[in-house]
């Protein structure tokens, strides 16, 4: 793994679509801290968190790991104070409703119902 760019004294945000065992994202966080990042956050779409994932997150240098609720996260949040969850049910329901009714889904990019 190679870091490109300068992160010294900066807040780093890692973005990923899916985190399973969290080996790669925890390794990336460590690289960022070694390079001088002041804080590291992870933003994930789907937090699978299988096997050693929770232990890795708890032992990693993350300030927080933010994940959507496309997969239930209640138990994971109990096991790790670093995990925070964003509810995406409203936006997904509105996207489905708009698709079903032949309405613009692009509208949601600028007008997110929360």
Judge contact between 110 and 91, C-beta under 8 A: no
pTM of the prediction?
0.89
Confidence of residue 113 (pLDDT cuts 50, 70, 90): low
Kindly state the average pLDDT of the residues 15-44.
Answer: 98
pLDDT digits (tens, 9 = 90+) for 69-107: 999 999 999 999 999 999 999 999 999 999 999 999 999
pLDDT digits (tens, 9 = 90+) for 46-61: 999 999 999 999 999 9
**pLDDT attached to residue 21:** 98
Neighbours of 83 (CB within 10 A): 24
Judge contact between 62 and 29, C-beta under 8 A: yes
Q: What is the DSSP letter of 5?
A: S
Name the residue ranges covered by the structural domains of the chain: 11-87
What topology is assigned to 11-87 in CATH? Rossmann fold (3.40.50)
**pLDDT attached to residue 114:** 63
Dihedral sign, CA of 19, 68, 44, 14? negative
**pLDDT attached to residue 3:** 93
């Amino acid at each position: 793994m190679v870091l490109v760019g300068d992160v010294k004294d900066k807040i780093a945000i890692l973005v990923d679509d899916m985190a399973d065992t969290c080996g790669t994202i925890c390794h990336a966080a460590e690289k960022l801290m070694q390079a001088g990042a002041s804080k590291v956050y992870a933003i994930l779409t789907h937090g699978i968190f299988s096997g050693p994932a929770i232990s890795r997150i708890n032992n990693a240098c993350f300030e927080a790991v933010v994940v959507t609720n496309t997969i239930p996260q209640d138990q994971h949040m109990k096991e790790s104070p670093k995990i925070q969850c964003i509810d995406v049910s409203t936006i997904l329901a509105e996207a489905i409703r708009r698709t079903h009714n032949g309405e613009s889904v692009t509208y949601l990019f600028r007008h997110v119902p929360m």
